[in-house]
């Protein structure tokens, strides 16, 4: 299992840890037994982890995502952690199960997507051509910034009033065979 799975006692010490700890921290699961969470995650990560551990030991189910620097600060990961308190027969918390996964790839993909969207927005907003999105009823839903800017200065009135026509020049209301009409309908239906 690539995720960290462990049982931590009521004093914040590991009683059991899976093999993933060896890959993440370079220590065997047996050598972790009896050591504190702070000893394993390191002083840099501890201030991030500590409030969540405190909540779990107070009996609260905890789930969080964060960017964290383990060990000596050269081991950064984006993680999703979940802590599930373990109670005795009388309801007292005696520890918690810790489940931590590395979500760095997801965070990196989200960051790349945001950057790609930003770059596309720059291209679309600065292009001199009209780029617009219409709904299924051909109502204008969105228009690129450059066209909207021209519209506000009075030069885009024709663009905003544009209606699709077929290749023979007929309005699409009378000629539904236009490739443009078909493309607009398909884009607005999927959109």
pLDDT digits (tens, 9 = 90+) for 129-141: 777 788 888 888 8
118: DSSP letter: H
Distance, in Å, from the CA atom of 38 to the CA atom of 57, rounded to the nearest integer, reads 15
Domain ranges of the chain: 4-104, 127-190
pLDDT attached to residue 16: 96
pLDDT digits (tens, 9 = 90+) for 76-134: 888 999 999 999 999 999 999 999 998 877 666 777 777 877 777 777 777 777 777 88
CATH of 4-104, one of 3.10.580.10, 3.30.450.20, 1.10.150.20, 3.40.50.720: 3.30.450.20
DSSP 55-113: HHHTT--EEEEEEEEETTTTEEEEEEEEEEEEE-TTS-EEEEEEEEEE-HHHHHHHHHH
pLDDT, the chain, mean: 79
pLDDT attached to residue 119: 79
């Amino acid at each position: 299992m690539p995720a960290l799975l462990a049982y931590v006692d009521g004093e914040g010490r590991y009683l059991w840890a899976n093999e993933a700890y060896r890959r993440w921290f370079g220590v065997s699961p047996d050598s972790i037994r009896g050591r504190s969470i702070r000893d394993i995650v390191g002083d840099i990560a501890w201030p991030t982890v500590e409030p969540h551990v405190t909540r779990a030991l107070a009996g609260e189910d905890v789930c969080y995502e964060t960017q964290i620097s383990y060990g000596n600060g050269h081991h950064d990961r984006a993680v999703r952690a979940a802590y599930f308190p373990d109670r005795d027969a009388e309801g007292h918390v005696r520890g918690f199960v810790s489940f931590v996964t590395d979500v760095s790839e997801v965070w990196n993909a989200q960051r790349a997507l945001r950057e790609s969207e930003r770059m596309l927005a720059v291209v679309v907003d600065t292009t001199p051509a009209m780029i617009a999105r219409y709904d299924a009823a051909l109502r204008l839903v969105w228009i690129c910034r450059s066209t909207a800017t021209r519209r506000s200065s009075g030069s885009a009135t024709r663009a905003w009033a544009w209606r699709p026509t077929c290749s023979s020049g007929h309005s699409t209301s009378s000629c539904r065979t236009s490739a443009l009409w078909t493309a607009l309908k398909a884009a607005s239906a999927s959109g």
